Amino acid sequence: MSLIFDKSREGIGCSILSELDVEPVLFPEKLKRTKSLNLPQLAEVDISRHYTELSKKVHGVNDGFYPLGSCTMKYNPKINEEIAALAGFTKIHPLQPENTIQGCLEVLSKAEKYLCEITGMDNMSFQPAAGAHGEFAGLLIIKAYHKSKGDLKRTKIIVPDSAHGTNPASATMAGFEVVNIPSGDDGCVDIEKLEAAVGDDTAGFMLTNPNTVGLFEKNILKITEIVHNAGGLVYYDGANLNAIMGIARPGDMGFDVMHLNLHKTFSAPHGGGGPGSGPVGCKSFLSKFLPNPQVKEYSDKYEFSNSPDSIGMVKSFYGNFLVVVKALTYILTLGKEGIKQASENAVLNANYMKCELSKIYDMAFDDICMHEFVMTLENLKKEKGVSAMDVAKMLLDNGIHPPTMYFPMIVHEALMVEPTETESKATLDKAIEVFSDIYKKAMAASELLHEAPVKTPVRRLDEVLAARNPVLKSGDRHTD
Ligand SMILES: *Cc1c(COP(=O)(O)O)cnc(C)c1O
């Protein structure tokens, strides 16, 4: 398929700008462009066809099964989009007076209340635009807390090696030193290693739970106690909340700060570059540090308020507001029981697939899993030369998006499968059949797997080149 720039034809356009009917503003010469913008020239019909053609070349949740571990690619009900498209939500301006946007403030306030109820936190800010952004804000809150107590020697954040890669990255960005601790053989935090790592330089500990191998941490109360006793705070990476909504609450487990991924658990589309929302929540003793402004509810109105102790703003205005509208719609349509059932079904679906697939493939851990599980293809690689990548590529030929590959890094030849609760048993059975067929092919004719994919618009790509040297506009094109 050609780039939109290749389709450009001199003199063709579809500008719908009306005639200028106000006095033109004259810019200073130094602010003016020296040459015109390099925009493609196309008719509206050509643009429409170009993007429709592009959209047919990708695999989305609306095309088929998408078990991409850690990403919770659930189906997002259309009602969320309908509500978020209401003019009262889309036609507002962030600088409008508060008394003209009371409904929108109510959405922020209600969403905060429900999400606090679900997580056991006391307050939440919707400013962060992604999970990692929520982590960053949460770590700044931990920093502000220690600073407010004059405790400046706490410069280290402890992170287990099973953590999501964003955890050490966010801690580093927030100016902390990261201390890595290895997991035990059971895939959980090694308590002795944690005890040895904490000290009076510990600012905090970050835990992903269920962790990145799909297991609920066994000693969670012990973990939070050890860190608290050392004077540190505990951070909960709540991106995997889809396994525990309505069942267990980070706030009850002793966690002080956390983030959620609304664009995973709370049914906003995930992937495609956003917009996302990674609200940061905390216990009341930390609320004054949350990003400004906060929404406050009074008996007759909602208002923004600013705390002088806040870490400040981490994004313009109030975050990606429409994602919050979708999350609130989702929570209200499911209700208290529905939220719990969603998590129960997510865990049930994962265990069903894990059980069936463990008859053929090796699992990284034998335990009952939460909402996702990790397979290891190490033996298949050794015996037949078939890698996790080969299996993933053949899944593409079968209309299934591959699971997450080579993550978590503590498992070799890993495939991490997260079916989510929105898939039917029929879809899961079909996927299990595809996985079994692929295994049989690997045994009988492994060269077929090295060939895959053969049915996709492009075959195997040079992923490193694509990441290091992306072609985003004409002129960037690789010559080979
Ligand atoms: C997805 C994810 C994140 C990061 O979320 P982004 O919105 O991609 O920044 C952090 N932790 C875990 C466990 C995740 O699964």
Mean pLDDT by 10 residues, the chain (480 residues): 89 85 90 87 94 90 93 94 96 94 97 98 97 98 98 97 92 97 90 97 96 90 98 97 97 98 92 85 98 95 96 95 97 97 98 98 93 96 96 96 90 96 98 97 94 92 86 61
CA of 131 to the centre of ligand 1 (A): 5
169 CA from centroid of ligand 1 (Å): 12
How many alpha carbons fall within 13 Å on the CB side of residue 215? 22
* Angstrom distance (rounded) from CA 35 to CA 38: 9
**What is the Cα–Cα distance from 365 to 347, expressed in whole angstroms?**
16
Query: Which stretches of 209-301 are assigned E, i.e. beta strand?
Result: 233-238, 257-260, 280-282, 294-297
Secondary structure of residue 429 in the 3-state scheme: helix
CB-neighbour burial class of residue 245 (10 A; exposed 0-12, middle 13-18, buried 19+): buried
- Phi/psi of residue 373, nearest 5 degrees: -145, 160
Residue 412: per-residue pLDDT: 95
> CA of 315: how far to CAs of 6, 96, 116, 343, in Å?
37, 18, 21, 30
Residue closest via CA to ligand 1's atom 12 equals 239
Specify the pLDDT at position 303: 96
Q: Give residue 480's pLDDT.
A: 45
Q: Where are the alpha helices (DSSP H) in 28-165?
A: 44-55, 78-84, 87-90, 102-119, 131-148
Ligand 1 atom index nearest CA of 130: 7
Nearest CA to ligand 1 atom 5: 131
Whether the CB of 209 sits within 6 Å of ligand 1: no
240 pocket-lining for ligand 1 (C-beta < 6 Å): yes
Does 214 contact ligand 1 (Cβ within 6 A)? no
Q: What is the largest CA-CA distance in the chain?
A: 76
Residue 24 sits at φ, ψ, to 5 deg, of -65, 145
Whether ligand 1 lies within 6 angstroms of the CB of 261 is answered as: yes
Region of residue 467 (left: phi > 0; alpha: psi -120 to 50; beta: else): alpha
* Cα 164 to middle of ligand 1, angstroms: 7
Is the CB of residue 291 below 6 angstroms from any atom belonging to ligand 1? no
172 half-sphere exposure, CB direction, 13 A CA radius: 8
Mapping DSSP to helix (H, G, I), strand (E, B) and coil, where does residue 436 land?
Answer: helix
* Spacing, Cα 166 to ligand 1 middle (Å): 7
pTM as predicted: 0.91
Which of these, 176, 183, 72, lies nearest to 408 by C-alpha position?
183
Judge whether 137 and 131 are in contact, CB under 8 Å. Answer: no
Domains for the chain: give ranges and CATH numbers.
Answer: 79-333 (3.40.640.10), 341-468 (3.90.1150.10)
Burial of 423 (0-12, 13-18, 19+ CB in 10 A): buried
pLDDT of residue 18: 86
